[in-house]
Amino acid sequence: MPYHRPNGLVRAVRLVLTFTAAAAALAYTPLSDDSLRRIPSGGADFDIDSGALLAPILTPRVPGTAGSRKARQHFVDFFTTQLPGNWTVEWHNSTSTTPATGDALVPFSSLVFRRDPPWAVPGDVGRLTLAAHYDSLYRPEGFVGAVDSAVPCAVLMHVARSVDAALTDKWAAMLAAGAGGDGLDEEKGVQIMLLDGEEAWVSWSDSDSLYGSRALAETWEATRYDVASVFSTPLDAISLFVLLDLLGAPDPHIPSYFANTHWAYQHMAAVEGRLRKLGMLETPLTSQFMEEDWKEAHQFTGGFVLDDHVPFMERGVDILHIIPTPFPVVWHTMDDDGAHLDMPTTRDWARIMAAFVAEWMDLEGFLPALPVGSHEKCDGRGRGEKLEL
Ligand SMILES: *[C@@H]1O[C@H](CO)[C@@H](O)[C@H](O)[C@H]1NC(C)=O
Ligand SMILES: *[C@@H]1O[C@H](CO)[C@@H](O)[C@H](O)[C@H]1NC(C)=O
Ligand SMILES: [Zn+2]
């Protein structure tokens, strides 16, 4: 993704979105300290050579190549065979020419992994939507893209497994209590988008970038739910679109880019701060990644980073963009590889995102205890532990 530019796109929908955000904000309940202590670390699964989640993604993943297919296989295997929960897989295939590849049609395959409450009618479920792109740059040849975006993909896999059992248990408890589907409880689902074709092949433009997310947003805009549904389209059913990008480099500074989702930024920042105080993060207490919780409405300049959220934002979706400014120094260079990752930062992202999603999904009381010894203060001793997949 490239430069910042002033945001003139979403003025018209701001007013409407503000009401939705306010309603959601009212319903938001922070997790207890006890629940936060149950959020697992990514641990050894983020090892760059042998980590079950991250290592398989640390290889070139140019669309249409074997590396891209292998990364997809890794994701599909994980969600459909490693996780006991019932994650559905939706493929979003498209093709396009690119300025680097002449008349050839390059295939792009974005993946959406989803869990809805088992009783829910699709058009009635609002979904927390977490996204990252898995493709890597076409040039320089051999570019790996560790922060861009292998780490965000692995973080989202960790998020899924960290909330999977609790979602199952919570929904079973709701069904047992007769609460499911009575219209009194908000129907909340979660979906993880692993997007293809984010990168430009030659130089960033509206047509040379965001191949996968443009196709997906268009498809969902045209997909109508039954007229009696709560939501009109799968886009309308996105309660919040959280896009992760360029994560895993040291000392990230994540601005709050959008006034209309600043409330969600504040919740994530609060989760981060609480995890730090509980001694559950590995980076120092003073190195808060999300420190703009103080921002006031008039301090939003309208600048943002062009990335996979744009096709969704243009269609009125609420966006929380978790991307550092300034970009990591390795950005779009051959140094963006596993060896240049800051592992404490990388593992902290995994825990912060898992905690935020557990909180958003109201998993208080349903998170399983961590294996003995794995939830102590992170002082280096516990880092090598491998968690069960
Ligand atoms: C899994 O999800 C699919 C699609 O939503 C649904 O048809 C199926 O009944 C679910 N299976 C279980 C065991 O929940
Ligand atoms: C999408 O493309 C992949 C190959 O990239 C293929 O395996 C899959 O079956 C296709 N899915 C659909 C729904 O077209
Ligand atoms: Zn990039």
Phi, psi of 64 (to 5 degrees): 85, 0
- In the structure, what pLDDT confidence band is assigned to residue 23 with cuts at 50, 70 and 90? low
Residue whose CA is at the smallest distance from ligand 1 atom 12: 86
Give the pLDDT confidence of 203-224 residue by residue, as tens digits.
999 999 999 999 999 999 999 9
Residue 145 vs residues 160, 229, 251, 290: alpha-carbon distances, Å: 22, 40, 18, 23
Q: Render 131-161 in DSSP notation, one character per residue.
A: EEE----SSSTT---IIIIIHHHHHHHHHHH
Ligand nearest to the CA of 136: 3
- What is the rounded average pLDDT of the residues 309-315? 98
What spacing in Å lies between the alpha carbon of 111 and ligand 2's midpoint? Answer: 10
Rounded to an integer, what distance in angstroms lies between the CA atom of residue 12 and that of residue 181?
Answer: 33
Q: Which positions are annotated as active-site residues? A: 198, 245
Residue 373 has pLDDT above 80, yes or no: no
Q: Render 160-205 in DSSP notation, one character per residue.
A: HHHHHHHHHHHHHHHHHTT-TTSSSS--EEEEEEEES--S-SSS--
- In the structure, what pLDDT confidence band is assigned to residue 308 with cuts at 50, 70 and 90? very high
Residue 378 has pLDDT above 60, yes or no: no
Q: CA nearest 320: which of 257, 239, 388?
A: 257
Residue 18 has pLDDT above 50, yes or no: no
One-letter amino acid at 98 equals T
Residue 318 has pLDDT above 90, yes or no: yes
Cβ burial 328-350 (10 Å sphere, 16+ → b, else e): bebbbeeebbbebbbbbbbbbbb
One-letter amino acid at 64 equals G
Q: Which two tokens stand for residue 80?
A: 């459909």
- What is the rounded average pLDDT of the residues 253-264? 98
Q: Which two tokens stand for residue 286?
A: 């003073």
Q: Which two tokens stand for residue 258?
A: 């959008």
Give the pLDDT confidence of 330-364 residue by residue, as tens digits.
999 999 999 999 999 999 999 999 999 999 999 99
Residue spans per domain, the chain: 4-369
Rounded to an integer, what distance in angstroms lies between the CA atom of residue 122 and that of residue 230?
Answer: 9
Residue 86 Cβ inside 6 Å of ligand 1? The answer reads yes
The listed CATH number (3.40.50.620, 3.40.630.10, 3.40.50.720, 1.25.10.10) that belongs to domain 4-369: 3.40.630.10
In ligand 2, the atom with minimum distance to the C-alpha of 107 is: 5
Instruction: Assess contact for 321 and 246: CB atoms under 8 A.
Output: no
Give the pLDDT confidence of 135-192 residue by residue, as tens digits.
999 999 999 999 999 999 999 999 999 999 999 999 999 999 887 766 555 689 999 9
Neighbours of ion ligand 3 (CB under 5 A): 148
- Say what the pLDDT of residue 178 is: 84
What spacing in Å lies between the alpha carbon of 85 and ligand 1's midpoint? Answer: 10
- Say what the pLDDT of residue 148 is: 98
- Say what the pLDDT of residue 248 is: 98
- What is the rounded average pLDDT of the residues 63-87? 97
Q: Render 82-112 in DSSP notation, one character per residue.
A: I--S--EEEEEEEEE--TTSTTPPEEEEEEE
SS3 category, 93: strand
Q: CA nearest 109: which of 90, 92, 89?
A: 92
Instruction: Assess contact for 213 and 195: CB atoms under 8 A.
Output: yes
Length of the chain: 389
Residues 356, 25, 322, 200: is their CA dihedral positive or negative? positive
Instruction: Assess contact for 24 and 324: CB atoms under 8 A.
Output: no
Instruction: Assess contact for 273 and 344: CB atoms under 8 A.
Output: no
The β-bridge relationship of strands 188-195 and 126-133 is parallel
Give CA torsion, residues 188, 190, 196, 199, to 10 deg: 80
Ligand nearest to the CA of 106: 2
Matching residue, tokens 């919780």? 293
- Say what the pLDDT of residue 372 is: 78
- Say what the pLDDT of residue 12 is: 32
Mean pLDDT lowest among 26-40, 180-194, 322-336 = 180-194
What spacing in Å lies between the alpha carbon of 287 and ligand 2's midpoint? Answer: 42
Instruction: Assess contact for 343 and 46: CB atoms under 8 A.
Output: yes
Residue 91 Cβ inside 6 Å of ligand 2? The answer reads yes
Rounded to an integer, what distance in angstroms lies between the CA atom of residue 349 and that of residue 247?
Answer: 8
Q: Render 9-35 in DSSP notation, one character per residue.
A: SSHHHHHHHHHHHHHHHHT--PPPHHH
What spacing in Å lies between the alpha carbon of 167 and ligand 2's midpoint? Answer: 28
For the chain, what is the mean pLDDT? 90
pTM: 0.91
Residue whose CA is at the smallest distance from ligand 2 atom 4: 109
- Say what the pLDDT of residue 19 is: 43
Rounded to an integer, what distance in angstroms lies between the CA atom of residue 10 and that of residue 189?
Answer: 25
What is the maximal distance between C-alpha atoms in the chain?
59
- Say what the pLDDT of residue 344 is: 98
Residue 80 Cβ inside 6 Å of ligand 1? The answer reads no
- In the structure, what pLDDT confidence band is assigned to residue 380 with cuts at 50, 70 and 90? very low
Matching residue, tokens 């939830």? 375
